[in-house]
Amino acid sequence: MTWHTVASLKEVPLGESLRVTVDGEPVALFNLNGTIHATHNRCTHGKASLADGYVDGDCVECPLHEGVFHIPTGKAMSGPVSVALRVYPVKVDDDGYIHVDDAPAD
């Protein structure tokens, strides 16, 4: 388990996303109602950046073929996607910095 400081809370406004890198892997941060979640940034269906997707509720729609993933769990919900996204543990410190653990979430 290694925590990586990846961004400040100000960089990920409510309902928005941000692409960062964690241990060489592209990771997407999402701010859902004030809670930051982290998933792998690459869609499991193709070469698309989910940080560029459309956030709807607690899901993100892939910008390429409209596959939908549940952000907190990474579960593939609909569209052509069937393989779940990797999700990562996240913590935000008292100074407003976002930290992502490079170990998979349980």
Distance CA 53, CA 63 (A): 5
Q: What is the nearest approach in angstroms of ligand FES to the Cβ of residue 95?
A: 35
Q: What is the nearest approach in angstroms of ligand FES to the Cβ of residue 5?
A: 28
Q: Name the residue nearer to ligand FES (CB basis): 25 or 101.
A: 25
Distance CA 99, CA 84 (A): 22
Q: What is the nearest approach in angstroms of ligand FES to the Cβ of residue 46?
A: 3
Distance CA 54, CA 66 (A): 9
Q: Name the residue nearer to ligand FES (CB basis): 6 or 61.
A: 61
Q: Name the residue nearer to ligand FES (CB basis): 23 or 66.
A: 66
Close Cβ partners of 23 (under 8 Å, ≥ 6 residues apart): 2, 4, 102
- The residue ranges that bind ligand FES (CB under 6 A) are 43, 45-46, 48, 62, 64-65, 67, 79-81
